[in-house]
Structure 1
Amino acid sequence: MRRLIALAPSNHGTTLSGLGTLTTALGLDPTVSAVAGQAFSDQMVGSRVNTTLDRDGDTQRGVAYTVIATRYDEAVTPYHNQFLTAGPGATVRNITLQDVCPQDRSEHLSIAYDSNAAQLVLNALDPAHAQRVHCRFSAPLLGG
């Protein structure tokens, strides 16, 4: 079985904590993208890119997907926009980091070097040898 493990992905776009909603409503996405890069507009909820990507569903047959998200994500908002829905022949496991480790305060950046998230990634890569996550405190920006 093929596997895809994603940390804090913008699978269904972002509001960027409301900033993207405002720039979209005001028609400013092209202007902001000229400064911040095209990814700004492409990742907004309802963008042409997201609409195209979502058109045929979230998954491909024969792939096991694991999405690891954090409630404290300030970049991909709302955080549940990261989660996938399994289509025919695919499996999806959506994990909210704080459901596993309530004291984990990782956000969009620090989830990449969070030891709790790292164990969840290892478990998703090799589920036959999954190990318990020894929840450690993880601070915003600093990780743990």
Structure 2
Amino acid sequence: MRIPRRLAALLAAATALATVWTAAPAAADELPTYSYLSGLAAQVTAPGSSPPGANVPGCKPSREHPEPVVLLHGLSNDTITWNTLAPVLAGAGFCVFSLTFGTGALGPIGSVGPAPESARQIAAFIDRVRAETGAAKVDLVGHSMGGAIPFYYLRNLGGIPAIDDYIALAAPLHGATLSGTAAPFTVVLEQLGVRGQAEESCGPCQFSPGTAFLAELNPDPAIAPEIEFTTIVSRYDQIATPYTTGQLTGPNVRNVVLQDLCATDYTEHFELTADPVAVREILNTLDPAHAAPADCAVVLPYIGPVG
């Protein structure tokens, strides 16, 4: 009975938050809400809108922050995923851009379609951002599949010269077991005779361990020694499992485990993009001249910091 009660509490909190949320997203200069629920509320009140501080027309990178930041969601969209991080980055002086890519049968939810097609949409968007801002390179921040798909862009679509920093949050770089549910799901697809079709057309299916797409993705940072890679993962991730799937190896890689910085951070997969420790580490990566230690607090799944 404990799990249903927790789910009921989370749904009640999300409903309450959506009820009191304003009809439009918060301005970038307002204090962000470090909670995944705030992104859900933004989707309810202003579906499909850019997160606050993102996609501002005419934004030109400053001398201090010459690379625009491109935010890439996972099995979600940019409204939900970046409601916290986008205004934080904008408030710190970055030009911030986001998009929803790979939509399909799930309506406003992206990363549904084939990952290579998502990568092509990302490539076109990065080209547009560079053209509009005059920047030679961009910094990438991707969550879940949005942190893994860009490797296809680097390896297959000529994206290496366009990227400076590459930050991946809970990315299934080496495949995701989904807390043990991926294997039974694959068996069901095989029994139905549609596994091959699913692995060609379904983005999430392509990140099941052992797929041909993962072999092609081959996320080896050595292909781009000039790019600085940062991974941020949580030991309590329930989607990109094992959590080490979100880590890389190489001299141009920094791997961050949230609980090594804050033992009371219980962030799971979805809260990660709004987690205050993760947000601080992103800022430290993109602006090392002003790096600061993260404030440790009790952070709960979905809800965020408490106390």
Settle same-fold status: TM greater than 0.5.
yes
1:66 maps to 230
- Distance in 1 of aligned mates of 2:209 and 2:290: 37
The gaps in structure 2 that reach 5 residues or longer are 1-162
Matching of residue 17 in structure 1 with residue 179 in structure 2:
yes
- Distance in 2 of aligned mates of 1:112 and 1:143: 10
Judge conservation of contact 1:71–1:79 (CA < 8 Å) in 2: yes
1:40 deviates by 2.4
1:43 maps to 207
- Distance in 2 of aligned mates of 1:21 and 1:127: 41
Question: Matched residue of 1:66: which SS?
Answer: strand
Match of 1:118 among 258, 268, 279: 279
The Cα offsets for residues 35-71 of structure 1, whole Å up to 9 and x where unpaired, read as xx712211111111111011x7244120111100000
- The amino acid across from 1:73 in the alignment is D
Judge conservation of contact 2:221–2:252 (CA < 8 Å) in 1: no
- Distance in 1 of aligned mates of 2:174 and 2:298: 29
Matching of residue 28 in structure 1 with residue 189 in structure 2:
yes
Question: Alpha carbon RMSD of aligned pairs, Å?
Answer: 2.1
Judge conservation of contact 1:111–1:143 (CA < 8 Å) in 2: no
Show structure 1 runs of 4+ deviating over 4 A.
Answer: none
% identical equivalent positions: 35
Match of 1:79 among 236, 239, 243: 243
1:104 deviates by 0.1
Match of 1:104 among 252, 265, 275: 265
Judge conservation of contact 1:8–1:108 (CA < 8 Å) in 2: yes
- Distance in 2 of aligned mates of 1:102 and 1:116: 11
Q: How many residues are aligned here? A: 136
1:135 deviates by 0.9
The Cα offsets for residues 65-85 of structure 1, whole Å up to 9 and x where unpaired, read as 110000011000000011011
Judge conservation of contact 2:221–2:253 (CA < 8 Å) in 1: no
The TM-score with structure 1 as length reference comes to: 0.85
- The amino acid across from 1:74 in the alignment is Q
5-14 or 73-82, which moves further after superposition? Answer: 5-14
Matching of residue 7 in structure 1 with residue 172 in structure 2:
no
- The amino acid across from 2:274 in the alignment is Y
Question: Matched residue of 2:231: which SS?
Answer: strand
The TM-score with structure 2 as length reference comes to: 0.42
Judge conservation of contact 1:66–1:95 (CA < 8 Å) in 2: yes
- The amino acid across from 1:105 in the alignment is Y
- Distance in 2 of aligned mates of 1:132 and 1:57: 29
Which protein is richer in helix relative to its size? 2
- The amino acid across from 2:288 in the alignment is P
2:255 maps to 94
Question: Matched residue of 2:177: which SS?
Answer: coil
Question: Matched residue of 1:68: which SS?
Answer: strand
Matching of residue 57 in structure 1 with residue 192 in structure 2:
no
The gaps in structure 1 that reach 5 residues or longer are none
- Distance in 2 of aligned mates of 1:62 and 1:27: 42
Match of 2:300 among 130, 139, 142: 139
Question: Matched residue of 2:260: which SS?
Answer: helix
